[in-house]
Structure 1
Amino acid sequence: MLARSFPPIADARARLLVLGSMPGVASLTAGAYYAHPRNAFWPIMGELFGAGPELPYEARRKRLITAGVAVWDVLQSCRREGSLDTAIERESEIANDFAPFFADQPALRLVAFNGQKAETAFRRRVTPMLDVATTARLRFVRLPSTSPAHAGRTFHEKLAAWRDGLASVIN
């Protein structure tokens, strides 16, 4: 099936951009980032920025924006059966247009990849299109995937890694 990502959660105050690869089936169905109930993203955002799953989705979005956190996906579209990153057909990947996005985010300093696939797709599809000045002002970090499919770490291990990786932008 052809999957298409959502517009970013962002405004010009963003200091941090969290990048996933492509929303899963539960997220696409709900029209919301990280909608799978076992995905650790919103519980981690709750611990770090007060944007936890107990809040309505729109309130979580607003809390992230207020905290200087942007959320987007590397891929604009791709073909994939199911939700797993490993099912993404590599030749079908089309990246989002990051050059104007980064230009509209003057405060952005840190790009955090939510898992290996997001980082791999970004480095393959996006980095070659960026100018040196953009990449020089940004720091990039890969964090453990919040996906329930990434069961190699407990929630507390993922939270600790995210807290450490984002320490420079957490108030």
Structure 2
Amino acid sequence: MMSERIVHPFPPVYSSESRILILGSFPSAASRAQEFYYGHPRNRFWPLLAALLGVAEPPHSIEEKREMLLQHHIALYDAVTACTITGSADSSMQSIIPADLSSIFQAAPIQAVFANGTKAYKVCIERIGIAAIKLPSTSPANARFGFTELLTAWKQILPKLL
């Protein structure tokens, strides 16, 4: 598989009522093909968020996903706006350009930033210069955390949404 230079292909999701910002690292190949966040069918992000928020059924369409985020005051984006990457592997990311989050912070009263995984966390701290709370990755590549462990770790987003 070849490395390729990719610019983030879709915009952040947020509104003037967003209270938290969840940052992934960079869209996977499946997400890039779908043109929306966490598009890999085995990524646990959408089922996890639905369970945390008490939503009976995880959203399926992009519009349902966007609506669930905004309804619960969640902004969503990625820490990297462009990079050279091989497939979907965070470990292969090079020539990283960090995301400019100023439009999100100007438009929304963000109370906390949560990083979905180590790469997002490192980019937040080292490249963007913002304090972020590191959460275990929802990626299927993160086999160390089962769904129950993820649910427990991710519960810390809930107090910031109240």
- For normalisation by structure 2, the TM-score amounts to 0.90
Residue 166 (str. 1) matches residue 157 (str. 2) = yes
C-alpha contact (below 8 Å) 2:12/2:75 kept by paired residues? yes
Task: Tell me if the contact between 1:144 and 1:158 (Cα under 8 Å) persists in the aligned partners.
Answer: yes
Tell me the equivalent position of 2:141: 149
Letter of the 2:125 counterpart: R
Is residue 2:127 matched to residue 1:125?
yes
Match of 2:74 in 1: 69
Runs of 4+ in 1 over 6 A off after TM superposition: none
The gaps in structure 1 that reach 5 residues or longer are 128-134
Say whether 1:48 aligns with 2:52: yes
Q: Is the 8 A contact 2:135 2:153 kept in 1?
A: yes
Tell me if the contact between 1:27 and 1:34 (Cα under 8 Å) persists in the aligned partners: yes
For 1:55, the aligned partner's letter is: H
Q: TM-score, normalised by structure 1?
A: 0.85
Number of equivalences: 157
Kindly state the Cα deviation for residue 54 of structure 1 after the two structures are TM-superposed: 4.4
Q: Structure 2 regions of 5+ residues with no counterpart?
A: none
2:87 is matched by which residue type in structure 1?
G
Q: Secondary structure at the match of 1:169?
A: helix
TM-aligned CA deviation for residue 140 of structure 1: 2.8
Cα distance in 2 between the residues matched to 1:31 and 1:12: 23
Identity across the alignment (%): 35
Q: In the alignment, which residue of structure 2 is the partner of 1:82?
A: 87
Cα gap change, 1:66 to 1:51, in 2 (>3 Å) = farther
Distance 2:57 2:74 in 1: 14
Equivalents in 2 of 1:53, 1:75: separation in Å? 26
1:92-126 CA-partner distances (Å, limit 9, x unpaired): 10111122321221x21010100110010111211
Structure that is richer in strand per residue: 2
- Can you list the C-alpha shifts for 1:13-32, whole angstroms capped at 9, x where unaligned? 00010000100000001111
CA RMSD of aligned residues (A): 1.7
Q: Distance in 2 between matches of 1:152 and 1:43?
A: 18
Contact 1:51 1:59 in 2 (8 A): no
